[in-house]
Structure 1
Amino acid sequence: MMIRNWIDKIIGNWERKLLPVNRIEIDAKKILRNFDEAKKRSGMEIWPVLKANAYGGGLEQVTKILKTRKYRYAVVDSYYEALRIWRVSRQKILLIGPLQPSNYSKINWKRVTLMVSDISQIWDLITLGKKVKIHLKINTGMNRQGIEIGELSEALKVIAGSEHVELEGLMSHLADTEDSEWTKSQEEKFVEAIDIVKRTGFKPKYYHLAASGGIGKVAIKELNAVRVGIDLYKGAIRLVSKMVKVRQVAVGERISYSGTYKFKKESWVGVVPVGYYEGLDRRLSNRGLVKYNGEFCPMVGNICMNMCLVNFGEIKPNLYDEVEVIGQSNQNSIEEMAKIMGTIPYEVMAKLSSSIRREII
C-alpha cells in the first residue's frame, strides 16, 4: 500500500502540472452546506454516500472536503472504493455492495462494517472466525436486497450463536418517497422488524431507513442515522471545457455523424472535447445547451465519443475559450439534462467519466 501511495503521489504531481482541457469543479462550500442542512433537517447522524465516484463528483476530492465534518461511516459500494478513500482519509466504511466470501479474509474489518442481506453471508462470516460488525438489511417492499421479515428470526438466531458477528445496525431502503402509501407500508414493515430484533434481545446501535428523499418523511423513534446521497451534491458540480477548433459552416451544410443537423444560415461552430465517453449523453444531441460568455448556445449534430459541436451563430468564439457544459443555470443544469434525456439526475452525474480531472474550489 505504501508503494502504491508513493506511485500515486508521483503520478498526481505530474498530472497537476498539465493544464486540463476538461475539468469538473466541486464546490466545497456547497458540499459542506448540504451536509449541514441534511443534519439539521433530519436531526440524526449523517452518513455521506460516496459510491459511484461520489456520484460523479470525485471520491477522493469529496472525502477531502468532508474531513471538516464528523460522521461515523462513509457509505460505499465496493472495497475498491474504500481503498481509494483511505488514500486521503482513515474514515470508517459501511460497505453496502456485493463482496464475495472468498475475499472476506482480505478485508480490514477494523475499518469496515458490512451490510448483510442474506443469511448465507452470516454463515460465511462466522466461518471466517474474525470479529465483524454488520448492518442487517430488511426487505420492506422494494424487493431488491435484504432478508425477508419471515427470515429475520432465523438470521438473528444464527447471529446469536456466534461470538464473531456483531449486529451493529438494522437498515432498509425506501423505494419511492413520493409515493406516501408505499413509504408507509415500508415504514410499518421496518417497525415490525425492529420489534422482532428487540424481542430477541438484540440492541443494535444504529437504525437507518432513509436516504436523501426520505428525510422528514418517516417517523420511527428508533431511527438515528440517514444515508445522504444526491442531496450532498446539489449545486456543487460544474463541468467546464475549452474550444479546441473553430470553423465557419455554410448554409445547407450538415454536421457530425449521420448529418442530423443542417445549417439554415452561415454559422460559427466550435468543437468542445466532451463526448459520450466523458459522460455527455447522446440523447442531448441537437437538444443540449452550453454556456459561453454568459449566453447559451445549442449543441448541434450527434454527440461523438470525445467531442460535441456547438453552434455560436454569428459570434466567432476564440480558440481555447472556456465553455461551461454543466452548470447551475436552468438551461444547462444536471436536472435539465436529465429532463431532456428522460432520466434522473443520478444517471447524469454517475456517467461523468473518472478520466476528467476533479478540482476542489
Structure 2
Amino acid sequence: MSRSILTIDSKALEFNIKSLSKFSKKPVIAVVKSDAYGVGVKHIAKILEGIKEVEFFAVACVEEGLELRELGIKKPILILGGVLKGEEKAIKEYSLTPVVSHPEHLKPLEGLNVPIHVKYDTGMGRLGFLEEIIDDPRVEGVLTHLSSPAEEEFSKKQIEKFKNILKHYKNVKYVHLESSAGVIYKVPYATHIRVGLAIYGEKPLSNYPVQLTQVLSLKARLISVKRLPKGYSISYSRTYKLERDALVGVIAFGYADGMMKSLSNRGKVYYKGKALDIIGNVTMDMTMVDLTGTDAKVGDWVEIVGPHQSFTDLAKMAGTIPYEIMCNLSRRIKREVL
C-alpha cells in the first residue's frame, strides 16, 4: 500500500485543454518538460495525445523528446532547449523539431532535412536571437517568450517587437508566444498557444479569465499519532514548542517527496476538511502536524493538495512558485489516473 498518492483526473485535464483552446481560439502546444512538471509524463502525454486540440508537444531537451516517442507519442515534438553537436542523429531518427535560438544550434543541423522553429529574445534575456533573420527554407515556426505576463505594458512591447520580426517570415506555419499566463493577450497573429501549468488547473494569475478545474490531488498517510505535553519540542533544531497539550501526527511525506522545507511552521494540510498546521521543521521523509481536535489515527490519509488547496496555494505559503513544488515531486509518490 502506497504511503503517498498523486491522483490525476484525466477528464479535468481534457476540460482545461479545451477551455484554454476555446478562450484563445487557438490549438495547443502542450509543454510537458521535466516529467510533465513532475506530474509524470508517461501518464500525462498519453492523455494529451488523444485530445484533438493538442497539436504539438514541447520538451526541454532531446532526451525528453526520445522518451515521448518511446511512449508511443506520434504528434510533433518541439525541443525548446535547442540542439547541440551529437544530437542531430536523434533529431532525424525520432522526427523531433528543434527550436533554434543561437547560431551554434544551426551547425549540427547542416544538411539535415528537418523542420525548425526559430526563437527570438524580445525581453526575456534568456534564449533567442535578438534581430538576426534566419533565411532557411526549413523554418516552419517562429516563437518568443513573454517574461512577465502580469506586466501588461512590458508584455505589449514584447508582442509588438515580435510582430515586427515576423514581417521577415512570410510563409511560416506556426507562430507562438502565449504561455499559460500569456493567453490573456489573445495575440491575433499567433497561431498556437504554448501552455503547461494551466492545463493542471493551476491559475497563473489571480484574476485569470479562463475557466479551469483542478486536475491534481495529493495525499499522504499518517504513520504516527500521539499525545505530547505542553512545552514539548518538535523536530530538528527544536524550532517549535507546543503551547498546550496536543495530538501530534507524522505524515509520511517530507522534503524528499516535494514538501518544501520552507513550509516548516507555516504551511497547512487538511484532514477530513479541517486545516492542520505544519509544526516543526519538515524533514526528509516526514512532516509533523497538529491533529488536536480530530479523531485521526495511524494509516489515515491527509490532503496536501486537493479540494481545499492547490499547488499554487501551497507555493504562496512556501514563498515560491507552484512549478518548483511540482517539479520536486518524488518518484516514490504513486501516480494514479482517474
- Is the shorter-chain TM-score for this pair beyond 0.5, marking a shared fold? yes
**Residues 207 and 300 of structure 1: is their aligned pair in 2 closer, same or farther, counting only changes over 3 Å?**
same
Which residue of the other structure, out of 296, 314, 321, is the alignment partner of 1:344? 321
Kept after mapping to 2: 8 A contact 1:268/1:316: no
Residue 332 (structure 2) pairs with residue 360 (structure 1)? no
Counterpart for residue 16 of structure 1: none
Task: Specify the alignment match of 1:120 in structure 2.
Answer: 104
Q: Which amino acid aligns with 1:85?
A: L
Residue 228 (1) aligns with residue 191 (2): no
Report the CA distance between 1:78 and its aligned residue.
2.0
How far 1:292 sits from its partner (Å)?
0.9
Q: More helix by proportion, 1 or 2?
A: 1
Residues 226-259 of structure 1: per-residue CA shift (max 9 Å, x gap): 1111110112111111111222111111010011
In structure 1, how many angstroms separate the alpha carbons of the residues matched to 2:92 and 2:330? Answer: 29
> In 1, distance between residues paired with 2:82 and 2:325?
24
Deviations for 1:96-135, whole angstroms, at most 9, x for unmatched residues? 0244212222334552101000122113210xx3211110
Unaligned runs of 5+ in 2: 202-213
Partner residue in 2 for 1:306? 285
> Matched residues in 2 for 1:266 and 1:314: separation?
11
- Deviation for aligned residue 1:81: 2.0
SS at match of 2:55: coil
Q: Is the 8 A contact 1:25 1:360 kept in 2?
A: yes
Identity of aligned residues (%): 33
- The residue correspondences of 1:24-35 to structure 2 (distance < 5 A) are 24-35=6-17
Matches within 5 A, 1:56-205: 56-70=38-52, 71-91=54-74, 92-109=76-93, 111-126=95-110, 129-149=111-131, 151-152=132-133, 155-156=134-135, 159=136, 166-198=138-170, 203-205=171-173
CA contact (8 A) 2:267 2:277 kept: yes
Return the offset for 1:287.
1.1
* Cα-to-partner distance string for 1:276-306 (whole Å, 9 max, x where unaligned): 1111001111111111122111111000011
Q: Give 4+ residue runs of structure 1 displaced > 4 Å after superposition.
A: none
Do the aligned residues in 2 keep the contact of 1:187 with 1:218 (CA within 8 Å)?
Answer: no
* TM superposition score normalised by structure 1: 0.85
Structure 1 Cα separation of the partners of residues 264 and 310 of structure 2: 16
Asked if the contact 2:82–2:101 (Cα under 8 Å) also holds between the matched residues in 1, the reply is no
Q: Secondary structure at the match of 1:53?
A: helix
| Residue 218 of structure 1, CA deviation | 4.4
Task: Give the length in aligned residue pairs.
Answer: 324
Which of the pair has more CA radius of gyration?
Answer: 1
1:240 equivalent in structure 2:
219
Q: What is the distance in 2 between the residues matched to 1:197 and 1:85?
A: 30
Aligned amino acid, residue 193 of structure 2: V
2:179 equivalent to 1:207: no
- Rounded Cα–Cα distance in structure 2 between residues aligned with 1:44 and 1:292: 40
Match of 2:229 among 240, 244, 250: 250
1:4 paired residue number: none
Whole-Å Cα distance in 2 between the matches of residues 103 and 273 of structure 1? 41
Q: For residue 181 of structure 1, what is the amino acid of its counterpart? A: E
Give the aligned CA root-mean-square deviation in angstroms. 1.6
Partner of 1:5: none
Question: Which of 29-38 and 305-314 deviates more?
Answer: 305-314
- What TM-score, normalized by structure 2, do the two folds share? 0.91
Q: Tell me, in whole angstroms, the C-alpha distance in 2 between the residues paired with 1:276 and 1:99.
A: 33
Question: Which amino acid in structure 1 is aligned with residue 224 of structure 2?
Answer: K
CA contact (8 A) 1:31 1:232 kept: yes
Match of 2:258 in 1: 279
Give, as a single letter, the amino acid of the residue that structure 2 aligns with 1:184.
Answer: K
Q: Structure 1 residues 110, 302: CA separation in 2 closer, same or farther (over 3 Å shift)?
A: closer
Which residue in 2 is equivalent to 1:52? Answer: 34
Query: Distance in 1 between the 2:273 and 2:318 partners?
Result: 24
Q: Deviations over 1:6-35 (max 9, x none)?
A: xxxxxxxxxxxxx21111011111110000
Distance 1:192 1:355 in 2: 48
